[in-house]
Amino acid sequence: MQIIHDRRALHQIPELDRVLPETFQYLKNALTPLNCQVFSPEEKGLCAFFDFGQKDAIAFRADADALPIFERTGADYASTHPGAMHACGHDGHMAIVLELARRFSEKNTLPHNVLLVFQPAEETTGGAKDICKTGVFEQYHVQAIFGLHLWPGLPKGAVFSRKNELMARSCEVDIDIIGKSAHIAKAAEGIDALAAAVELYRRATAMEEALPARVFRLLKFGKLEGGTARNAIAAHAHMEGSLRAFQDEIFEDLQTDLTHICQEIEGDFGCTVNLHMNSGYPAVMNPEPLYNRVHACLPFRELAEPAMTAEDFSWYQRFLPGMFFFLGLGDTPALHADNFDFDDLILLKGADFFETLAETFL
Q: How far apart are CA 224 and CA 236, in angstroms?
A: 11
Candidates 310, 303, 305; CA nearest to 283 is 310
Q: Is 123 a catalytic residue?
A: yes
Q: Provide the β-strand partners of residue 44.
A: none
Candidates 238, 216, 217; CA nearest to 227 is 238
Q: How far apart are CA 190 and CA 180, in angstroms?
A: 5
Q: State the catalytic residue, choosing from 6, 15, 63, 91.
A: 63
For residues 96 and 109, is the Cβ–Cβ distance under 8 A? no
For residues 105 and 353, is the Cβ–Cβ distance under 8 A? no
Q: How far apart are CA 105 and CA 77, in angstroms?
A: 28
What's the full length of the chain, in residues? Answer: 362
What SS3 class is residue 275? strand
What SS3 class is residue 228? coil
Question: Which residues does 356 contact at the CB level (< 8 Å), separation at least 6?
Answer: 297, 298
For residues 46 and 136, is the Cβ–Cβ distance under 8 A? no
Angle 193-209/248-269 helices, nearest 10 degrees? 150
Question: Which residues does 322 contact at the CB level (< 8 Å), separation at least 6?
Answer: 144, 145, 146, 147, 286, 287, 290, 313, 316
Q: State the catalytic residue, choosing from 6, 15, 65, 123.
A: 123
Q: Is 343 a catalytic residue?
A: no
For residues 113 and 47, is the Cβ–Cβ distance under 8 A? no
For the annotated catalytic residues, the residue numbers are 63, 123
